[in-house]
Structure 1
């Protein structure tokens, strides 16, 4: 009887030790161990694949017109007065070729809250990892930096794609993430 009791105590001790090891061991998130350069490379590859898919499936870039509305969070592509694609978007940020700066959407007061809620997760990740370009609101940049920030954001947030919106003077470019893509073939385009 004593041998059985000792056996059960040993088994229970091993069981609880094993349970404690499982609860204290964390799964390592690959994003927590990459350098900024590795993150950029992974993200650019991810975005390239997403952009190719969007081009092939949705023909993004082939439509006559695009419009967006911050209040609804919709980016709309249309041709011949008919809406073709409606995309729920998240604003990433913008590059100014006048001031040669990048400005994150979360740091831009002219961007409405409903299109910049999720991008704050990229900022939080940047703070956690110490990647200054992800948590400083504004910094010296060019158009390549804009694409890099869009790619990293797309990768972290698992976006379906990115659209670069040119400003009227081609000196300011905004980057938008595709969150949800809906194909519409029969809705007439609103007249502005």
Structure 2
């Protein structure tokens, strides 16, 4: 028997608010600290769960990626990465902890494999996931019919930094 309380919207709202503030400040710090604006190019791979940033063809920053989930643009649905069997294992990182956090705290959106991709709900899910896994930043990429959403971790400046 499951004796846990029903989902508490007030508690969820507080978790989301704290995660949103944390994500905004960390994102701004990441962009400012590492100079990720202007003429910066990037390359990423789910196969090795890595992202690199370069300027003038020289890599200056590397990081580890964790896929949070994806949106099907035509179907308007969200799918958590932990529920997506087509993703490389390396790209999942510790995303399973986000699902477990949702189960332990009765936050339904986190352990649901997927849901209708209402923009606010997707934003909340992304930011709470980033908070649970202590991400340094968030990243998104649109391609064909999908939007991929990532967390960025373990940023390291390379020796080639200009």
- TM-score of the pair, normalised by structure 2: 0.85
Question: Is residue 2:63 matched to residue 1:87?
Answer: yes
Correspondence for 1:177: 151
Question: Is residue 2:160 matched to residue 1:186?
Answer: yes
CA distance in structure 2 between the aligned counterparts of 1:61 and 1:175, rounded to whole angstroms: 19
CA gap of 1:63–1:74, structure 2 versus 1, over 3 A, is: farther
Alpha carbons 1:66, 1:77 under 8 Å: kept: yes
CA distance in structure 1 between the aligned counterparts of 2:95 and 2:39, rounded to whole angstroms: 27
Correspondence for 2:116: 140
Deviation at 1:61, TM superposition (A): 4.2
Correspondence for 1:60: 36
Correspondence for 2:92: 116
RMSD: 1.8
Q: Deviations over 1:64-115 (max 9, x none)?
A: 4221122221111122211121111111111222111111111112211122
Question: Is residue 2:68 matched to residue 1:69?
Answer: no
CA distance in structure 1 between the aligned counterparts of 2:112 and 2:60, rounded to whole angstroms: 37
CA distance in structure 1 between the aligned counterparts of 2:119 and 2:60, rounded to whole angstroms: 28
CA distance in structure 2 between the aligned counterparts of 1:61 and 1:40, rounded to whole angstroms: 27
- TM-score of the pair, normalised by structure 1: 0.72
Alpha carbons 1:94, 1:146 under 8 Å: kept: no
CA distance in structure 1 between the aligned counterparts of 2:135 and 2:160, rounded to whole angstroms: 26
* Partner SS state of residue 98, structure 2: helix
Where in structure 1 do 4 or more consecutive aligned residues deviate above 4 Å? none
Structure showing greater radius of gyration is: 1
CA distance in structure 1 between the aligned counterparts of 2:22 and 2:38, rounded to whole angstroms: 22
Residue in structure 1 matching 2:18, options 20, 42, 45: 42
Report 1 or 2 for greater relative contact order, CA contacts < 8 Å, sequence distance ≥ 6. 2
Query: Number of aligned pairs?
Result: 152
